[in-house]
Structures are given as C-alpha cells and as structure tokens.
C-alpha cells in the first residue's frame, strides 16, 4: 500500500462559508425558535472533503470557485492551513457560496445553500488525469461533474445533494457514494461500486449490486454531524486510492466520519490518519 504523502487526490467541488446557529430543537414549518449566537465556519462539500483528505495526510488539490470578496479569501486561507493546494482555485464575479445551517442539541441539522460562485466552476482545461483519484459532488453544475468524470483516471462521485445523475456520468464513475435518501435516485444495480452511508449505523459497500462489506462506527458522543459525511468521503477517497480492500476502505472511512462529529463546524474535528488508526485498533 502506498504512503499517504505519495497519494494524490483532486477534489472538484463547492466552497462555502457556513453560518451556523445552534438550537434546542429544529423548528417545525412556520415555527420560530431562539438560538445561540451566529458563528462562521469554512464549509462546502468539496472544500470539506479536500480538508479531510489533506488532514489525513494525502497530497490534496482543491478545484473550486470563490468570490472576489473577504469570504473567498478567508476560505482559501482555511484550506491552505489544512495543507490543501489551492493554486487551481478560481475567482468568480459572483459572491462566495454561503450555507445557512441550524444544528439542534442532538447534533442533527438542516442546511440551505446559496451556491454563488460555485455555479461558475469550470474544469474543462484542468489536468485531472494527474491525480490518483478525483472526487466530485453535486453542489456544482452537472456539466462540471461530467467534465471531471471524463478526465479522471479514477472517479468517485458523492451524489449529494440528491438530484438525478445522468447515465453518462454513472458509467464513468468508479464509485458512487450516497446516503439512504440519495440512494433512491441511484439504485445498487446502476453502478459498479455503490457505497451507502447510514449515519450512526455506519455504511454498506456494494459491487455490481452485491453487498461486499459493511461497517459500524466507533461509539462517540457527537457534537455536530454537519461534516461527518464529507469526512467519510475524503477518507474513503484516500484509502481507495491506496488500493485497500473494500472492508478496509469502509472501516477507515466510517471511523473518520464518526470522529469528525466531535467538534463544531464541518471542518472543526477532522481526524488525522494516526487518530483513525488508533480508534480502529481499539475495535
């Protein structure tokens, strides 16, 4: 298995400023509830997954777009502090993407995203074939996802948020990662490798419609589940690029996702490779 530092991951996706307020319970439709003071975190599925991959130790490049504004500069600084290469990030005339997040005491959340600059991302001239694995999500345009899939040697699609994925993109995917809701848009027989995340219950790994691995997370007391799914995807990409077995990849990613819930913000508690391996050794 190759070392983490020699494993190259390219992440094509969104970068958002997360504006977060914590509440005792999520509001019902039409209900107003009082929350804590508003807090600002770095986020966006693409940026989160790049930060997760880099924190684990992989050589990680983020291809995304931010606005020519203070939020965009701040997000770039946050990624660089994690060790993410940002030289291929673009600057847009549109404002930096923003996510409005409400988190209740249990750790559950609701999220609304204003994509802004993310909608302008274009990777048609990027050299994505240089990476061991390329990861993309669906907070960017379908055209950008398809362009990334066509260029990548190994392509992982996190089909989130939930929307229809074209047959052309699915055919180009080496792995599709979804949660239970998003899985209904895909179906286990449509892709070669499908991974379904199950929240606190862990995840399942299918190859050609057959369940080949399942994993449950370590017991933790979650503080904030916002970044768990993205940490899972980043960790999955790193371990998959190293050629690990389906079970090993899944165990590693499930553990990383669980550990990412121990701090506030999508990037607040991303684990290192050493931390993940230590927790796995306890199992």
Strands (DSSP E) along the chain, which ranges?
8-12, 16-23, 39-43, 59-63, 65-67, 90-92, 97-104, 109-114, 133-136, 155-158, 175-179, 193-197, 203-207, 210-215
> Is pLDDT above 90 for 5?
no
Strands (DSSP E) along 184-256, which ranges?
193-197, 203-207, 210-215
Q: Coil, strand, or helix at residue 154?
A: coil
Residue 123 near residue 13, CB atoms below 8 Å: no
The reported pLDDT for the residue numbered 265 is 57
Task: Kindly state the percentage of the chain with pLDDT values over 70.
Answer: 94
The reported pLDDT for the residue numbered 189 is 62
Residue 80: partners with Cβ closer than 8 Å, 6 or more residues away: 86
Residue 128 near residue 12, CB atoms below 8 Å: yes
Write out the catalytic residue numbers.
Answer: 230
> Is pLDDT above 90 for 275?
yes
What are the pLDDT digits (tens) for 190-209? 789 999 999 889 999 999 98
The reported pLDDT for the residue numbered 263 is 72
| Every domain of the chain and the residues it spans | 4-15+44-95+118-282
The reported pLDDT for the residue numbered 52 is 96
The reported pLDDT for the residue numbered 84 is 97
Residue 103 confidence class, pLDDT cut points 50, 70, 90:
confident
Residue 201 near residue 216, CB atoms below 8 Å: yes
The reported pLDDT for the residue numbered 144 is 97
> Is pLDDT above 70 for 1?
no
Residue 187 confidence class, pLDDT cut points 50, 70, 90:
low
CATH code of the domain made up of 4-15+44-95+118-282: 3.40.1190.20
177 bridge partner residues = 158, 195
What are the pLDDT digits (tens) for 227-266? 899 999 999 999 999 999 999 999 999 999 999 888 765 5
Nearest to 119 by CA among 178, 46, 53, 174: 46
What is the chain's mean pLDDT, rounded? 92
> 221 versus 80: which is more confidently predicted?
80
Prediction pTM value = 0.90
């Amino acid at each position: 298995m190759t070392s983490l530092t020699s494993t190259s991951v390219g992440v094509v996706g969104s970068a958002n400023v997360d504006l977060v307020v914590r509440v005792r319970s999520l509001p019902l439709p039409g209900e107003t509830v009082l929350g804590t003071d508003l807090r600002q975190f770095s986020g966006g599925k693409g940026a989160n997954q790049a930060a997760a991959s880099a924190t684990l130790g992989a050589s990680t490049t983020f291809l995304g777009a931010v606005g020519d504004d203070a939020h965009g500069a701040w997000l770039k600084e946050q990624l660089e502090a994690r060790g993410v290469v940002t030289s291929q990030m673009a600057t847009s005339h549109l404002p930096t993407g923003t996510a409005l997040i409400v988190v209740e005491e249990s750790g559950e959340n609701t999220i609304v995203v204003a994509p802004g600059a993310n909608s302008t991302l274009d990777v048609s001239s990027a050299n994505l074939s240089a990476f061991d694995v390329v990861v993309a999500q669906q907070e960017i345009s379908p055209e950008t996802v398809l362009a990334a899939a066509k260029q990548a040697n190994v392509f992982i699609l996190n089909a989130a948020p939930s929307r229809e994925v074209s047959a052309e993109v699915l055919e180009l995917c080496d792995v599709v990662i979804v949660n239970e809701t998003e899985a209904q848009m895909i179906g286990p027989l449509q892709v070669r490798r499908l991974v379904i995340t199950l929240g606190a219950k862990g995840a399942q790994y299918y190859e050609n419609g057959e369940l080949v691995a399942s994993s449950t997370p370590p017991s933790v007391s979650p503080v904030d589940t916002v970044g768990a799914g993205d940490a899972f995807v980043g960790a999955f990409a790193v371990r998959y690029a190293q050629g690990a077995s389906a079970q090993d990849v899944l165990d590693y990613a499930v553990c990383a996702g669980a550990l990412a819930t121990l701090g506030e913000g999508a990037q607040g508690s991303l684990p290192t490779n050493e931390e993940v391996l230590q927790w796995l050794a306890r199992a």
